[in-house]
Amino acid sequence: MKIVPVPVRSDNYAYLLIDEETKEAAAVDPYDVAKVRLKAEEEGVTFTTLLTTHHHPDHSGGNEEFVGDISVDGLKLAENDLSCSKAKQFPDVKVVGGSKSIPALTVTVRDGDTLKIGKSIKIKCMATPCHTQDSICYYVTDSKNPSQKGVFTGDTLFIGGCGRFFEGTAEEMHKSLSYLGTLPDDTVTWIGHEYTTSNFKFGAHVDPENEAIKRGLELSAENKVTTGKTTIADEKEFNVFMRLDSQAVKNATGTSDVVAAMDKLRNMKNNF
């Protein structure tokens, strides 16, 4: 299994999830189709699946172009145009997501559903409602290399942070992050946005004596791209949104109730 991040927009990430034996791949949130296609050509892979973490346009906004007609100089080529052997970008790709709000959707998934890429990659769908109600995180494993584990977290979990509660509640975010926390500790996190520096600055404000947060600040200072460099175990050490029962969070929020603490923390971060 190989995972290739593709930075898009100012701070989003798209990804290629590749089965190295078959060279079959899934695209994750391919907002910038041209960039994703170029990376696929470099890797020599064929797409079979498009995984969408949620319906927001900065994640799903490339879906229709991904499966739509090829354009040349802004002009669409018809399917019967003899000058082009394949009039669709990626014509047989399954577009996967958690609701019909996702453009070009062909497969609606629910919590616990599984998918396969190539011969050895298994994908488990994890429903994590809050940022949006259709948020799906994708936990990926490789049967040929069991030590490889990863999770595409969209805008639910960031390195050192979490998404805003646009369509949900503090209780839902607490449940969603706790659910992700049940994954094996060595699961690598592949995030939806590069918010790592601001998240750790906020974390240091809440929990200034936390050595893991200090290491996180060093990580973000040394790496422009931080996705794929941390694990679920790391999140349990330095993500204040996953440490609601810590004394530092209790002190900062003034409550020992985890849901109230989550709500207070998110409001603090929004105004930080």
Q: Which residues are catalytic?
A: 54, 56, 58-59, 131, 155, 193
Question: Which of 219, 159, 192, 259 shows the shortest CA–CA distance to 15?
Answer: 192
Give phi and psi for 178, each to the nearest 5: -65, -40
Contacts of 268 (CB under 8 A, 6+ apart): 202, 206, 252, 253
Closest CA to 176 of 157, 204, 191: 157
Amino acid at 265: L
The set of residues, in sequence order, having a beta carbon less than 8 Å from that of 146 and lying 6+ positions away, is: none
Buried/exposed 104-117: b ≥16 CB within 10 Å, e otherwise: bbeeebeeebebeb
Element (H, E) at 123: strand 121-127
Could you give the 3-state DSSP secondary structure of residue 176? Answer: helix
CB 114 within 8 A of CB 123: yes
